[in-house]
Structure 1
Amino acid sequence: MRSSRPRPPRDTSSTEKIAEDEQVLEEFALDPQAYAVNDFTPDERVIKGTIAFLRDQKKAQVLFFPMSFNPQAGELRLYTLIRVRITYVPDQGFGMQQFITAPFGLAAADPNWPPAGDQLYKITTAEEGIYRVTHDELAAAGMDTASIIPRNLHLYNRGAEVAMYVYGEDDGYLDPGDYIEFYTEAINTKYTRTNIYWLVADQSPGLRMTQIDGAPGSAPFANDFLEVLHFERDLPQGYWGLAPGEDSVDRWFWADFTPPEYQWVVLPNIPEDFPVDLPGVSTLGGTATVKVALRGFAADKLHQATFSIKNSLFPNGSQIAQRSWQGQDEYRVEVDIDQGLLVPGENTITIELLGTE
């Protein structure tokens, strides 16, 4: 497009100063060489910028220049559509990585990242437990399984080698049906809930789990046991950055509630359902404890809510508690219930906000 402003003066050696109370607030000087060019600059619409590492992965900055200027003609061009093709070159560390689906991700890692090895793979985990990675999953991620000596596989986490179990390594080959198993720890910080493990193949034996005889002794069998399950979803629309409290306060929420008196159109108060999957609920009875963390938005209001369990036994829900709390501080509901209210598999905790006072 053509600029509506006048062309810059030809005497580009002048310097203009804007001053107030004899203090220079801004100084502007024309660049004689730049304004002497009778061409549009910059002449490239897209360039590759800074290359850096983030969480052990190489990143490349892409810079766009949607405008170019010809100082002699006094014209400014605006590009409203820019198409870019990005090509990933594996041997330069920009290989498009293949990830295995949940519960873990597996990818060919940047070869520049230590520890050194013939092949290096990054495994991401989100929960504590024992994970299994099969021969087929390793092959799908790009591992040359035919050249791997399984005894020489290593696993690293946070700079230290950790032990793992490699099924089928005794024959010296990584065959279909073979797999690795390892124990992972959960990470729960305000920055990430993803733990990183590095699988490395080199020329030395790796650290292995110690195997012990797990045959039961003379002690009686336990018919059931206590287990703690945590359910949480951090939704994009559930972030409250201005929530009061220390920097370590969790400001992500699964859902929010708007009481009828604060709605633009007064509607019936709709309960919110939170699905929880409970595998293997004991049928021997006993007591279960339900804990829910809440936070009020209004600092000077009294909040009231009911809590119910809904499942195949109680399709309409069975109320387990009604609570009130004041202000914006975190409020934790903890209630003991008859375990007979729960069923193996799908259950729902229903919360209904009664209103604020």
Structure 2
Amino acid sequence: RPEFALLTKTFFTGNGISVDGISLSQVRLYNLGEEDLGEEVAVYVQDGGTPDQFDDGDYIEFYGRPADAEYAKYAKYNVYWLTTSGGTESPKRMAPPIDGTPVAGPLATMHAYTVTYEKDERYWIGAPGEDSLDRWFFNAQLLGDEVEWGGDPVDFMFSVPGVIDTGDLTISLSGYYDTDHEVTVWLNDNPIPIATFTWSGITAYEGTISLLT
């Protein structure tokens, strides 16, 4: 998922890289692009000690993104690389951070948030869809009661702490055989199902359930 990454002096030394030769004003970050070396990515450089030297409190920060859809099928992680010299123009830099604290107004007591729970344990290369389709699934499989060894429920454990209002539970499924599918969903220890999803064919299906706290 997209997130900010922080490269500190400890990060470099912990990976066996000396910071003595790093000039903070010259560092550049690159990511995959159309050019041979890739596309330069803007970074924020905190240089609060000796100018242009990597001191203990200094760091390099950038906004990292997951691999593009055309590469995500083959690589779980995106790749960035840092250079300490070269380039014909000034290195790309982020604007200095600003204080975004509101001048006045009440503090929010709640906010909406999406929690995603998934495990890339089984890869289904034959899953129908575009080349960019995420073909990773949980290792667990749901087998119907018409299968000799099927019919048993499968548990998925996840937590959503701090919930104080209503929410939606979305479940992504995929039919492996060209037949009719029916999946019943229970939540926690409630013996009453909260939903039953039905669809047909070797295709993906996504069902959403509205929940009350």
- The TM-score with structure 2 as length reference comes to 0.77
2:210 aligned with 1:324, yes or no?
A: no
Shift of 1:337: 0.8
Q: Indicate the residue corresponding to 1:196 in structure 2.
A: 79
Change (3 A) 1:184 1:321: same
Which of 170, 173, 187 aligns to 1:291? It is: 170
1:77-96 CA deviation, whole Å, 9 max, x = no partner?
A: xxxxxxxxxxxxxxxxxxxx
Q: List alignment gaps of at least 5 residues for structure 2.
A: 33-37
Which of 274, 281, 288 aligns to 2:156? It is: 274
Distance 1:135 1:295 in 2: 45
Distance 1:241 1:335 in 2: 29
1:50-87 CA deviation, whole Å, 9 max, x = no partner?
A: xxxxxxxxxxxxxxxxxxxxxxxxxxxxxxxxxxxxxx
Distance 1:134 1:223 in 2: 34
Q: List alignment gaps of at least 5 residues for structure 1.
A: 1-126, 311-315, 341-357
Distance 1:148 1:239 in 2: 41
Q: Indicate the residue corresponding to 1:228 in structure 2.
A: 114
Distance 1:250 1:148 in 2: 39
Q: Determine helix, strand or coil for the equivalent of 2:124.
A: coil
Q: Indicate the residue corresponding to 1:308 in structure 2.
A: 186
Bigger Rg, which one: 1
Which of 81, 102, 106 aligns to 1:216? It is: 102
Q: Indicate the residue corresponding to 1:258 in structure 2.
A: 143
Q: Indicate the residue corresponding to 1:176 in structure 2.
A: 56
| Paired AA for residue 84 in structure 2 | A
1:208-231 CA deviation, whole Å, 9 max, x = no partner?
A: 221223232224432222222333
Change (3 A) 1:325 1:141: same
Shift of 1:143: 2.1
| Paired AA for residue 184 in structure 1 | G
Higher strand share: 1
Aligned partners of 2:30 and 2:40 also within 8 Å: yes
Distance 1:176 1:232 in 2: 37
Aligned partners of 1:289 and 1:336 also within 8 Å: yes
Change (3 A) 1:275 1:163: farther
1:198-250 CA deviation, whole Å, 9 max, x = no partner?
A: 11112786332212232322244322222223332222xx3333344555544
Distance 1:152 1:232 in 2: 40
| Paired AA for residue 54 in structure 2 | L
Shift of 1:257: 1.9
Q: Determine helix, strand or coil for the equivalent of 1:261.
A: coil
1:142-167 CA deviation, whole Å, 9 max, x = no partner?
A: 32212322222221223222222223
Where do residues 83-122 of structure 1 align in structure 2 (5 Å cutoff)? none
Q: Determine helix, strand or coil for the equivalent of 2:12.
A: helix
| Paired AA for residue 74 in structure 2 | Y
| Paired AA for residue 31 in structure 2 | N
Aligned partners of 1:153 and 1:202 also within 8 Å: yes
| Paired AA for residue 91 in structure 2 | G
- The TM-score with structure 1 as length reference comes to 0.49
Aligned partners of 1:296 and 1:330 also within 8 Å: yes
Identity over aligned pairs, percent: 32
Q: Determine helix, strand or coil for the equivalent of 2:155.
A: strand
Where do residues 28-39 of structure 1 align in structure 2 (5 Å cutoff)? none
Q: How many residues were matched structurally?
A: 199
Distance 1:136 1:298 in 2: 51
Aligned partners of 2:48 and 2:57 also within 8 Å: no
Change (3 A) 1:215 1:246: closer
Distance 2:112 2:64 in 1: 21
Change (3 A) 1:239 1:176: same
Q: Determine helix, strand or coil for the equivalent of 2:104.
A: coil
| Paired AA for residue 275 in structure 1 | M
Select the structure with the greater relative contact order (CA < 8 A; seq sep ≥ 6): 2
Which of 99, 110, 126 aligns to 1:242? It is: 126
| Paired AA for residue 204 in structure 2 | E
Aligned partners of 1:224 and 1:282 also within 8 Å: no
| Paired AA for residue 137 in structure 2 | F
Distance 1:203 1:241 in 2: 41
Q: Indicate the residue corresponding to 1:206 in structure 2.
A: 91
| Paired AA for residue 158 in structure 2 | V
